[in-house]
Structure 1
Amino acid sequence: MDKQYCKVGSVTPITSGNQAISILEYQYQSFMEKASNLEYNNTKLGEFFEQKAQKIKKRLEELI
């Protein structure tokens, strides 16, 4: 039997420059919207989204 390689869950690196900044800005906005959504407000999932947004913001500050 031959080896098979699966792309599910594979990670594509974010390139540097304007493309990376725009992708990170979009992800930051998305996570902040999810964190502030009333459905997730004051829940562990809401806290998770907020933490992800803060990590992305930190990464954005490093790029700028």
Structure 2
Amino acid sequence: MKNQYCKVGSITPMGNGTDEINLLEHQYQSFMEKASSKKNSDTKLAEFFELKAMKIQKIIQNLV
């Protein structure tokens, strides 16, 4: 029987293409929406989502 290797958890590096920027912008919007929806019920979770969104925003600014 041959060994099989699984690529679960493997990553591919992001380039400077527009597809990557669009993906990051979508993730940024998603985290901001999650943060605004959780702001009243769970402030710690909202802060976490805002922090993630800020990190993504910095990555976008570095790519542009």
Q: What TM-score range do you get, normalising by the shorter chain?
A: 0.7 to 0.9
Aligned-pair Cα RMSD in Å: 2.1
Structure 2 unmatched ranges of 5 or more: none
TM-score normalised according to structure 2 size = 0.74
TM value normalised by structure 1: 0.74
Tell me the residue number matched to 1:42: 43
The corresponding residue for 2:16 is: 16
Identity rate, percent: 55
Structure 1 ranges of 4+ moved more than 4 A: none
- Tell me the number of residue pairs that the alignment of Structure 1 and Structure 2 aligns: 63
Structure number with higher helix proportion:
2
